[in-house]
Structure 1
């Protein structure tokens, strides 16, 4: 992991980030300003994540993507002009992304994620992966665990998406609000809020262990009646990517839905996951990407600043309910 050396903010930076400093404090802004982030996969979701963390004032952000810009990108990738079709996605993002905050160092890497070795990832404080295979996500998470690098994986299929966090041993400060009685005896009770900052820590399981979780267990089946089948839907879409070496495409809609339903039937009880879950998993829908991307970026900011409790450890956005929710997948269950 990169050395955790805290440099002071310049007068120009203090002025630019004045509002944020008032929100989460000078020391937390210094932590942000000294952090190096990798975002791999500059689709619409990756762009939303990048936008929010660039505005927050990180030291540097590296865009890693070997893909070429396609027409599908224009549905949700707001960094890339339509004139850039066919060019590298990471490079095509730089100009508009840099305009958001000239003080953040932005770099484009056109290499392939699978070719990046352990030394490459050691340069970053936080690694965010999108569009990767499960094998690649697991490989990179294991590298991050070895070097205490915070790891996030996220994906968006149409209007369905998820994020996963592996923060290993993570310490943070959380504000606890209590109410103090200020009224005198025999008077109507009056209280005022008093904030106490408490230090806490959490230990996160690896991505690999959560993916081997027994979702057919009686415990999970009961819990799924409350939260829905989002975890299994994610697994089905990941299996499709693994089998087809791509995500579902609008041009292959009918064919791909049949394949998704076949995977569903092989993995779980068809009655648990209605067919409608696979009607809207094509491309990336901008509003849904904004919700998930904003959530991931906020978690990155919370992680770097060590302020407030992080999501433990999955976050799902379910288009059937138009709601996002946290799902705890832990090998202890």
Structure 2
């Protein structure tokens, strides 16, 4: 990763981001202001993610997409104009994306994300992959996990969609909770309270740490094992439906019989687990 300077919020930026600074604080906005983000895939989901990142006020956003603007993509996303059909999707989305917030450095990259070297990904603080293959997501996630780079992956299938995030081996955060008032033993008037009460007017901040697993670890869970099946009731059925859709999409793209057989086996395992979860 590149060395980061201590970000400074100018008066103009403070006015621009006033509402969100009130929401998550100046320190959080400074971290956003110092972050460089890569977004791969400028479909409908990618365009929405780009808009939110730009309006949030990151330092820089790189739009990476090798595909061309089609009639379908014009209907799915709002950054590429209808007149840009046939042009590169990242380049066509650049002008409208930049106009959302001139304070953010927005760049377009027309290369294939699969062709990028490991060194390319290391220049970013966070990477968002939309509509990418499973193999690519696993590769980038493994690389970023080793280099403390945040990773977000997602895709949409009609009314269904998924999101995976990996924020590292030790992710620290704070949680605000209502303050619990312990019963006092000094009361002489009437019986002592038996249980602690929650005061909705006061809150306390609790520091917590969580470890995120890699995408490879998540995908390699054998849901037919006894331990994993015990967790099926807490796992939404949509998760397995999305796995099945992803496998089906991959099957349709592969022509070699050996690779197709492997993916079909994975697909069948997913459907088998889905059957178990219904029973």
Same fold, judged at TM 0.5 (above):
yes
The answer to whether structure 1 residue 232 and structure 2 residue 240 are counterparts is yes
Structure 2: runs of 5 or more not aligned: 191-196, 255-262
Pairwise CA distance, 1:33: 0.7
The RMSD of aligned alpha carbons is 2.9
Q: Secondary structure at the match of 1:38?
A: strand
Pairwise CA distance, 1:273: 8.6
Matches within 5 A, 1:178-189: 178-180=179-181
Is the contact between residue 154 and residue 163 of structure 1 (CA under 8 Å) also seen in structure 2? yes
State how far apart, in whole Å, the 2-side matches of 1:263 and 1:7 are.
Answer: 46
Q: What does residue 268 of structure 1 align with?
A: 271
State how far apart, in whole Å, the 1-side matches of 2:198 and 2:53 are.
Answer: 41
CA deviation string 1:152-198 (max 9, x = no partner): 111111111101011112122222221448999669x9945322223
Pairwise CA distance, 1:244: 2.3
Alpha-carbon spacing, 1:238–1:99, altered in 2? closer, same or farther (3 Å): same
State how far apart, in whole Å, the 2-side matches of 1:143 and 1:191 are.
Answer: 45
Alpha-carbon spacing, 1:237–1:9, altered in 2? closer, same or farther (3 Å): same
Q: Secondary structure at the match of 2:120?
A: helix
> What is the TM-score with the length of structure 1 in the denominator?
0.70
Q: What does residue 204 of structure 2 align with?
A: 196
CA deviation string 1:267-295 (max 9, x = no partner): 42374699xxxxxxxxxxxxxxxxxxxxx
Alpha-carbon spacing, 1:222–1:136, altered in 2? closer, same or farther (3 Å): same
Q: What does residue 171 of structure 1 align with?
A: 172
Is the contact between residue 179 and residue 199 of structure 2 (CA under 8 Å) also seen in structure 1? no
Q: What does residue 127 of structure 1 align with?
A: 127
State how far apart, in whole Å, the 2-side matches of 1:203 and 1:226 are.
Answer: 19
Is the contact between residue 64 and residue 108 of structure 1 (CA under 8 Å) also seen in structure 2? yes
Q: Which of 41-50 and 172-181 deviates more? A: 172-181
Query: Comparing both chains, which one has the higher relative contact order based on Cα–Cα distances under 8 Å and sequence gaps of 6 or more?
Result: 1
Structure 1: runs of 5 or more not aligned: 247-259, 275-333
Alpha-carbon spacing, 1:217–1:181, altered in 2? closer, same or farther (3 Å): closer
Is the contact between residue 179 and residue 198 of structure 2 (CA under 8 Å) also seen in structure 1? no
Alpha-carbon spacing, 1:198–1:125, altered in 2? closer, same or farther (3 Å): same
Pairwise CA distance, 1:261: 10
State how far apart, in whole Å, the 2-side matches of 1:36 and 1:84 are.
Answer: 27
Q: What does residue 68 of structure 1 align with?
A: 68
> What is the TM-score with the length of structure 2 in the denominator?
0.83
Q: What does residue 323 of structure 1 align with?
A: none
Q: What does residue 315 of structure 1 align with?
A: none
Pairwise CA distance, 1:97: 1.3
Q: What does residue 117 of structure 1 align with?
A: 117
Pairwise CA distance, 1:125: 0.5
Q: Which of 174-183 and 126-135 deviates more? A: 174-183
Q: Which of 263-272 and 107-116 deviates more? A: 263-272
Matches within 5 A, 1:204-283: 204-221=212-229, 223-225=231-233, 227-245=235-253, 265=268, 267-269=270-272, 271=275
State how far apart, in whole Å, the 1-side matches of 2:222 and 2:198 are.
Answer: 50
Pairwise CA distance, 1:241: 2.9
State how far apart, in whole Å, the 2-side matches of 1:241 and 1:9 are.
Answer: 45
Pairwise CA distance, 1:145: 1.4
